[in-house]
Chains A and B, each alone.
Chain A
């Protein structure tokens, strides 16, 4: 099975500061990678997904961007954080479509 490493677990950032969240995957190669955001007590909103290196699809126009510089590395970034960027960010991976997702432990981001 796959192991998803995601860090940090919690992050407090001021409005207007940059952001970089990193996710790395073990136990597979050429996975499909995903970034989700979850507001408190709510469902998961798909932000970005990637089927290969430098192949990123954006689901929602927003203040965030994603990159995949290596096969098993997925990075979520922002140049200037907004208050509305606060939330629980989850990285997920699967080998191909129609299979289950493996999730990281998440990053709780608070923008103040």
Chain B
């Protein structure tokens, strides 16, 4: 079953604007990760935020985590056409198997 659910499913904005994607999950986690996928390619890791962290930055990326609401957000600032891709959140569950469970993803389109 899917652990993470992204919102919105698709997002289209103008170059230079900020893009925000949200992720909700169901069970307790060790960490939450965000990945990017260009069409027809493998996924690339963007950022990992641990359950005891609330915010993390990497370049133009900002990730927040609210464990009380079981939700996370990914903000891409000053978007570029090259940011066009699908973005997925994934959760490392707290107990049990060593698996990373992915959501359905957000398809982001940056219009030049």
Tell me the A residues contacting B by CB distance below 8 Å.
Answer: 4, 6, 32, 34, 36, 41-44, 46, 49, 51, 57, 59, 88, 90, 92, 94, 96-106, 108
The answer to whether A98 and B31 have CB atoms under 8 Å apart is yes
Interface size on B, residues (CB 8 A): 26
Contacts A32-B98, A49-B98; A44 near B88 (Cβ below 8 A): yes
Tell me the B residues contacting A by CB distance below 8 Å.
Answer: 2, 30-31, 33, 35, 40-45, 48, 50, 88, 90, 92, 97-105, 107
The answer to whether B48 and A103 have CB atoms under 8 Å apart is no
Main secondary structure of the interface of A (DSSP, over half): strand
- The residues of B that contact A46 with a CB separation of less than 8 Å are 99-102
Cα separation A49 to B35 with both chains bound (whole Å): 19
The answer to whether B42 and A105 have CB atoms under 8 Å apart is yes
